[in-house]
């Protein structure tokens, strides 16, 4: 039997290892082997487009024009975003952009200011 822990999200018992991650196939949740309980692999190590580690409260600059889904507006290249908040998920940055409002961004489209 495996001594790998069950998934913290869905209690899946069919855990398998992939490099430094534990993966749970029922909910597709990934977890770092050396992470503490309650810490996810993505939440503790978010990096910008240049590889710099991002933290809550940092300021970032958008490196590419980004269309706002469901709107005709665009976030222009060079837009500075202050006081970001890191979250889990595909879009791992929550922020407010002046003139647009609350948004979620992917860390691959920003650089640390």
pLDDT tens for the chain, residues 1 to 113: 467 777 767 777 777 888 777 787 777 777 666 654 334 444 458 889 998 889 889 999 999 999 998 889 999 999 999 999 998 888 999 999 998 999 999 999 999 98
Dig out the tokens for 62 from the structure. Answer: 């958008």
What pLDDT is attached to residue 2? 61
Contact 81, 60 (CB under 8 A): yes
What pLDDT is attached to residue 36? 44
Using only C-alpha atoms, what is the Rg of the chain?
17
Model's pTM, two decimal places? 0.61
Dig out the tokens for 11 from the structure. Answer: 């209690």
What pLDDT is attached to residue 37? 39
What pLDDT is attached to residue 19? 75
Over residues 80-106, the pLDDT tens digits come to: 999 999 988 889 999 999 989 999 999
Nearest 5°: phi and psi at 79?
Answer: -65, 125
Distance CA 60, CA 3 (A): 41
Q: In sequence order, what are the beta bridge partners of 66?
A: 75
């Amino acid at each position: 039997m495996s001594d790998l822990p069950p998934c913290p999200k869905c209690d899946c018992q069919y855990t398998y290892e992939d490099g430094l991650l534990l993966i749970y196939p029922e909910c597709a949740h990934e977890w770092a082997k050396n992470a503490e309980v309650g810490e996810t692999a993505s939440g503790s190590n978010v990096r910008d487009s240049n590889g710099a580690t991002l933290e809550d409260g940092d300021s970032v600059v958008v490196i590419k024009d980004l269309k706002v889904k469901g709107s005709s507006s665009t976030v222009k290249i060079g837009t500075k975003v202050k006081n970001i908040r890191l979250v889990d998920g595909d879009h791992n940055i929550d922020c407010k952009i002046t003139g647009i409002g609350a948004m979620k961004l992917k860390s691959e489209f920003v650089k640390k200011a």
